[in-house]
Structures are given as structure tokens and as C-alpha cells.
Chain A
């Protein structure tokens, strides 16, 4: 083993800019995918707890199918498989606006939506049934009960498992490099290719991910204390990464 360290490759030339670009793309991709995942997760998670099987069933199919297939397969599916089937105008718009980025957002968002859904379902199911009955007896409709009582309480209960899922989403955004999204891992590979300094490039990427994860975990711990409901503990599922 005689490896020469040249840490200055990380800030000489274009490499610093590449890392920054990668970080911004990772954040951009993750934030959009997170919004999609949370929307899908709340909707399908709430539907899975309703009494009507016609609503429960499609939500269940969505969750079980999407979370049991590797994210990489979804990346390929949304990037290679779906665009040719879309209408011509939409295809053209996508190819002009970075089809790989949008395929990445979709793959990541839909996959993690299924996983968020399980977290939210567990949160809703941990709410005592009396809350639901009390809300209905005040004259709220079922939809209003979910919108104004059940979902807001559930969201306050699931902060710890939701944080876990958010970090999973952030880390999984690295899979988008396989379809050519120039996110952080992609950029570290590029630095490695251009400078042949793999150790330094990988170390830089790794440290950025670690710092991001620790920062989000810290922030969310603060949020958790803020929104915690006294006397109630979240019983959300945290299994399956």
C-alpha cells in the first residue's frame, strides 16, 4: 500500500464547485421527493385506516407493491420505462427540463411515499379510538375528522420514525446517480475520475452526508420536543430501511 494523499485536489480547480453543485442537487432532489412522499404517505396512510374497503384496498396495493421492490429498479423503471409511453408534448418538455432529475424525483418520492405511509398509518392507529368518536359526535364529517383532528395528531406523534425515513430518503437520493443525476455521489465519482484521487473524493462525499444526516437529526430532535403531546408516545414503525 503506497497511496499518496493529495487533499488539495478537493479545492483546486473545479472540484470544489462540483461538490457544491452535487450537494445542491442532492438537496433539491431530496426536498422535492420528500414533498411528494409526504403527500402520498399521508393520503395512502390515512386511507388504509378507513372503514371502507374500497378505499383501503388500492392504498394497500400501492404501499405493498412500491416498498417491496428495490429503489434502483424504480429508478430504471421511471427513467427508461415510463417516458416513452407519455404523450409527445410531455416527453418533449421532460427532455428539455432534465428527464433524469424528474424521473429521480418520482422514483424516490413514490418509493418513500409507500414507506411514509406505513409510518403515518402506525401513527393514526396509535391514536385512541375515543378521539375519533368524540370528533364525529361533535358533528364533523369523516373527512373533516381526518383533516382537522386525526392527521394533525398523528403527525405530531410520528416525528421520530418520520425523521428516520427522511434520513433514509436523503441517503437513498444517491441511487439517482445510476440514471445520471449529478448529485453528490455522482460528483465524488467525477472528481475521482478526473483526479484519480479516490480516497479524498470519497472522504469528502462521506463527510458531507454525515454532516447532513447529523444536522437533520439534531433539528428534528428539537422539533420533536416542540410538538410532543404530553402523555402520548409515538408507536410508529421504524423497521425496513
Chain B
């Protein structure tokens, strides 16, 4: 056991690998944060579309969700690695490919959270909004979605934890996140046990702290 290897490479692992500050265009957080925001926007559209009354809106949304939830993320990443440069007509940095893949993949899961959130809003709210003369779109925007969002927050935090862990898979196409940073250091130092245990602890700290926060939020919502 030689945990000195962590001390020697601490800056590279944490600053470059986790935060994305350094020579490589990488970073776990630099991928996870935009991915959850963009994924949520897309997921909201799909979640709302799932509940549309016309089948030609709800059916494509349903197919989208079921398709992406039935395929491994690794497979989806390879698809985008192949398809994004082909559509763009030029080779793109790993970051763009990984971000596109994560946004589109996570949107399928986020859409289900949004749908459940919308369905958790009391029926009376919808009826009251309709009675005041709001159109369906206005009702969604001003009455249902704001309340749904509050109910969704714990599930969204949980999904962000999932995403944060999933971003480690971006390393398979060469994106320098925390996992890839550990691989790079390991190639030089050959200390796999110490290095992988260390990054496990880093991931664990983030995920565990957030999951505690999610259950706190859940208990607060439960009280209201």
C-alpha cells in the first residue's frame, strides 16, 4: 500500500479530473452540470408530451422514453460517438459527443420524473385553473408545472447522483473525467488499488452528501 501516490497526483485527479481545470478539456462536473440542466429542459418537453391528449404527440414521446431506457448507456455513447461526427460532417471533441449523449439519454429518465411530478399535482388544481379561464398551456405553465417542480426536487437530486456516476462512462471515448484521470495516473504509477479506491471515495462523498440532502428535502415536502 502506498497512498503517497494520491498526494503526488492530487491536483491532477481533483482539479483536472473532477473539476476540469487543466490542460485537458475534461472534468466530471463540467460534463454533469450542463448535462442535467439541458437534460431537464428536454426531459420536461418529453414528459409534458407524454401526457398530451393527442396520440401523435404522446406516442413518439413514449417511444423515445422506452427506447432509451431499454438500451445500455455504453451502447448509447457508442451510437453518438459514431453518429454525431457524421451529422456534423467533421470530427468533434469528446466533450461535445459525451454531452449530447448524456443530455439525450438522461432526458428519457428525467421525462418520467417530470411526468410523475405532473401527475402528483392535485386534480382540483387543474379544475380550478380551468375554471378561471386559463388555456391548457397557461395552466401547465403557471399552475401545474411550478407545483410539480417542487414535488420533483428529491427525485431530480437522485437522478443527478445517477448522472454524476454515469459520467464515468464518458472515459470510454477518451473524455478526461475523474475516472480517466485515475487511469492516466495508473498507467504511469501502477497503483490500481490505491487510485481506484481513492476515486471511489471521491464519488462516494459527492453522491452520499447529495442523497442525504435529497432525503432531507423529501421529509420537508412530506410535512407540507
Contact = CB atoms under 8 A, between A and B. Distances in A.
Interface in B96-141: 109
B197 A175 contact: no
B78 A185 contact: yes
Main secondary structure of the interface of B (DSSP, over half): helix
A206 interface: yes
Contacts, number: 115
A84 B193 contact: yes
Given A172-B72, A205-B75, A198 B82 contact: yes
Interface stretch (A7-15, A33-41, A75-83): A75-83
A56 interface: no
A241 B158 CA distance: 9
A202 B75 CA distance: 7
Given A185-B72, A240-B158, A199 B82 contact: yes
B183 interface: yes
Given A175-B169, A202-B82, A80 B71 contact: no
B179 interface: yes
A54 interface: no
Contacts of A172: 72
Interface in B161-216: 161-162, 165-166, 168-169, 171-172, 179, 182-183, 186, 192-193, 195-197, 199-200, 203-204, 207-208, 211
Contact of A206 (B71, B168, B169): B71
A235 interface: no
A178 B71 contact: no
A210 B70 contact: yes
Interface residues of B, number: 41
B196 A76 contact: yes
Interface string A52-93: 000000000000110011111110110011101100000000
Contacts of A76: 179, 182-183, 192, 196
Interface of A: 1, 3, 64-65, 68-74, 76-77, 80-82, 84-85, 167, 171-175, 177-178, 185, 188-189, 192, 198-199, 202, 205-206, 209-210, 213-214, 239-241
